[in-house]
């Protein structure tokens, strides 16, 4: 249990924007160093030992324009010992250098050699590199529409620990069309990276080295099947407050937690106006009383504080009726509508936002039925798999370049998995419930209800989607514009590491 930290005593930090080192003919060139450092995460907590990009947690925000490619040199300057407990049996990482990193830009359309393949890791100074190491400087074309992306570590078998240590940051692509909408901008447009952590009394990060009900034959340390921290941080501060003017603000919200999902609402009873999802603006603004955010999902919302002058509004996380009264994670962030209005708010909440062509019109080449399944490993620990295959099994998903596929995600486990596919943004077609008990008895899929259209705020571009238990969630995607090796996985990092991640290869048209 973390020390009982007082809520809303620290100001919300805003990440600084990364400046390019130089301009080159192939775009701006940036350098980012991964380093170990200490950062104060709460007034009453001693500085926490972290790993971060440019000695910051979250890392600096990369802010680019659509159509302007950039290059990033993600330099590993980390020590050779990890600060968190590594299970050496997961992917036999005990045979590898202990500290390895590789950065992935989540949600981006990037060539495979810059996508941060989990086995393309490298150590401090590139002294050692993984089997599929590609290049030192990554290239991001930024040809996709305006959106909120994020970058984070993706090293094989230790992603959960590297990200938990602090290796994550935001990445924003801006386009002209979005600019023309007159959304709240400048200081009124704020990224919020929400994560959960637990702390030891000395301020250090706490992360379990054994599952709660550990049998005694387990590896030591052992991976855990899920992790829920008892403390919520936004932009690197524990339960911060944010002073706002009585006007509209735009918040680009990211759930950067390992396992935890959030059900966000405002205690003032006012709604969110959701304007965007993972892959940018929705077609139409959606008024939401409550927004579920799975790990790695982004929601872009406008909140209007104009009627709340002098008041406090808390961004809450609905823990449901059975919540433990000791659980403090029902609070996220406090807004204090305490600043005077500096000038008239001329920004708008547009009704119509953007054009989104429906992929459903495309000619569908392949339908893949993919099961999300639970099994147990040799130690009796849960082992969650995609279609009953482990990471190292041969590649089975090989979409052809430029073709459209439907992936039908059938979740036969007992809980929701946020499924993420690299390279593309997909659309959610529908969900359909089935009888899980029946399936567990005889393997039959008997639907218990009709096909349900996705929620209004899921009708835009997505790269990560909740695939709930006992439902078939169908997504549709066009696999382009690059061929090569990518991955898809559950974004619960404890699942992704073990072994709920699979390679996929986009193959050439005539292969
Ligand atoms: Cu957010 Cu494969 O990653
Ligand atoms: Cu990704
Ligand atoms: Cu999962």
Evaluate: CB of 252 within 6 angstroms of ligand 1: no
> What is d(CA 209, CA 277) in angstroms, rounded to the nearest whole number?
35
CA atoms within 13 A on the CB side of 65: 7
Q: If you average pLDDT over residues 151-158, what whole number do you get?
A: 98
262-266: strand order across its sheet? 241-243, 331-336, 312-317, 262-266, 291-293
Q: Residues 3-26: pLDDT tens digits?
A: 999 999 999 999 999 999 999 988
From the CB of residue 415, how many other CB atoms can be counted at a distance below 10 Å? 17
Q: Residues 422-476: pLDDT tens digits?
A: 999 999 999 999 999 999 999 999 999 999 999 999 999 999 999 999 999 999 9
Q: How far is the CA of 74 from the centre of ligand 3 (A)?
A: 28
**Beta strand 27-39 pairing with 70-76:** parallel
Evaluate: CB of 248 within 6 angstroms of ligand 1: no
CB 177 within 8 A of CB 356: no
CB 407 within 8 A of CB 490: no
- pLDDT at res. 76: 98
Q: How far is the CA of 168 from the centre of ligand 1 (A)?
A: 11
Evaluate: CB of 154 within 6 angstroms of ligand 1: yes
Out of 211-220, 228-237, 389-398, 479-488, which region has the weakest mean confidence (pLDDT)? 211-220
Using CA positions, which residue lies closest to atom 1 of ligand 1? Answer: 106
Handedness of CA 370, 375, 379, 382 (dihedral sign): positive
Using CA positions, which residue lies closest to atom 3 of ligand 1? Answer: 106
Instruction: Indicate which atom in ligand 1 lies nearest the CA of residue 489.
Output: 2
Evaluate: CB of 104 within 6 angstroms of ligand 1: yes
CB 84 within 8 A of CB 125: no
Q: How far is the CA of 292 from the centre of ligand 3 (A)?
A: 16
CB 136 within 8 A of CB 157: no
> What is d(CA 42, CA 168) in angstroms, rounded to the nearest whole number?
19
Q: 213 pLDDT band (50/70/90 cuts)?
A: confident
Instruction: Indicate which atom in ligand 1 lies nearest the CA of residue 152.
Output: 1
What is the value of pTM for the model shown? 0.98
Q: How far is the CA of 422 from the centre of ligand 2 (A)?
A: 5
Helix, strand, coil shares of the chain as percentages rounded to 5?
10, 40, 50
Burial profile 490-503: b = 16 or more Cβ within 10 angstroms, e = fewer: bbbbbbbbbbbbbb
Evaluate: CB of 422 within 6 angstroms of ligand 1: yes
CB 283 within 8 A of CB 350: no
Out of 311-320, 346-355, 356-365, which region has the weakest mean confidence (pLDDT)? 356-365
Evaluate: CB of 106 within 6 angstroms of ligand 1: yes
Instruction: Indicate which atom in ligand 1 lies nearest the CA of residue 296.
Output: 1
Identify the bridge partners of residue 22 per DSSP, sorted by sequence position.
29
Q: Which regions of 86-164 does DSSP assign to beta strands (E)? A: 103-106, 137-140, 147-153
Q: If you average pLDDT over residues 409-418, what whole number do you get?
A: 98
- pLDDT at res. 384: 98
Evaluate: CB of 298 within 6 angstroms of ligand 1: no
Closest CA to 222 of 86, 104, 367: 86
Q: How far is the CA of 221 from the centre of ligand 3 (A)?
A: 21
Instruction: Indicate which atom in ligand 1 lies nearest the CA of residue 118.
Output: 2
Q: How far is the CA of 181 from the centre of ligand 3 (A)?
A: 37
Evaluate: CB of 160 within 6 angstroms of ligand 1: no
> What is d(CA 74, CA 52) in angstroms, rounded to the nearest whole number?
11
């Amino acid at each position: 249990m973390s020390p009982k930290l007082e809520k809303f005593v620290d100001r919300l930090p805003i990440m600084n924007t990364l400046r390019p080192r130089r301009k080159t003919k192939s775009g701006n060139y940036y350098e980012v160093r991964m380093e170990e450092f200490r950062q104060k995460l709460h007034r009453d907590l001693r500085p926490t030992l972290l790993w971060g990009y440019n000695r910051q947690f979250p890392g600096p925000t990369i802010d680019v324009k659509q159509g302007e490619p950039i290059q990033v040199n993600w330099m590993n300057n980390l020590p050779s010992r990890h600060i968190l407990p590594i299970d050496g049996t997961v992917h036999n990482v005990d045979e590898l250098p202990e500290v390895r990193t590789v950065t992935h830009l989540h949600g981006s359309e990037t060539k495979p050699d810059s996508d941060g393949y989990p086995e393309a890791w490298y150590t401090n100074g590139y002294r050692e590199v993984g089997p599929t190491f590609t290049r030192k400087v990554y290239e991001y074309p930024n040809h996709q529409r305006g959106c909120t992306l994020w970058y984070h570590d993706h090293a094989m078998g230790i992603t959960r620990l590297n990200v938990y240590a602090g290796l994550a940051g935001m990445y924003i692509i801006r386009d002209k069309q979005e600019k023309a909408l007159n959304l709240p901008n400048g200081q009124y447009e704020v990224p919020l990276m929400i994560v959960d952590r637990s702390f030891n009394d000395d301020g250090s990060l706490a992360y379990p080295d054994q599952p709660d009900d550990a049998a005694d034959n387990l590896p030591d340390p052992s991976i855990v099947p899920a992790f829920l921290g008892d403390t919520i941080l936004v932009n690197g501060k524990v339960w911060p407050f944010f002073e706002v003017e009585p006007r509209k603000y735009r918040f680009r919200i990211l759930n950067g937690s390992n396992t935890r999902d959030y059900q966000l609402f405002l205690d003032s009873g006012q709604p969110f106006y959701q304007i965007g999802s993972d892959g940018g603006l929705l077609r139409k603004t959606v008024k939401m009383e409550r927004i579920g955010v799975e790990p790695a999902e982004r929601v872009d919302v406008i909140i209007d504080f104009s009627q709340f002058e002098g008041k406090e509004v808390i961004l809450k996380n609905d823990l449901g009726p059975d919540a433990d009264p000791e659980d403090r994670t029902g609070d996220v962030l406090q807004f204090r509508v305490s600043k005077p209005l500096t000038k008239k708010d001329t920004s708008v909440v547009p009704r119509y936002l953007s054009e989104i062509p429906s992929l459903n019109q495309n000619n569908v080449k392949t339908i893949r039925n993919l099961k999300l399944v639970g099994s147990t490993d040799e130690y009796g620990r849960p082992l969650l798999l995609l279609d009953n295959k482990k990471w190292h099994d041969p590649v089975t998903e090989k979409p052809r370049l430029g073709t459209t596929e439907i992936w039908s995600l059938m979740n036969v486990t007992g809980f929701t998995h946020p499924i993420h596919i690299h390279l593309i943004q997909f659309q959610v077609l529908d969900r359909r419930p089935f009888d899980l008990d029946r399936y567990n008895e005889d393997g039959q899929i008997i639907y218990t209800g009709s096909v349900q259209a996705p929620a209004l705020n899921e009708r835009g571009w997505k790269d990560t989607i909740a695939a709930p238990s006992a439902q078939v969630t169908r997504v549709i995607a066009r696999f382009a514009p690059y061929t090569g090796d990518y991955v898809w996985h559950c974004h619960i990092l404890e699942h992704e590491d073990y072994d709920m991640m699979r390679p996929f290869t986009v193959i050439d048209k005539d292969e």
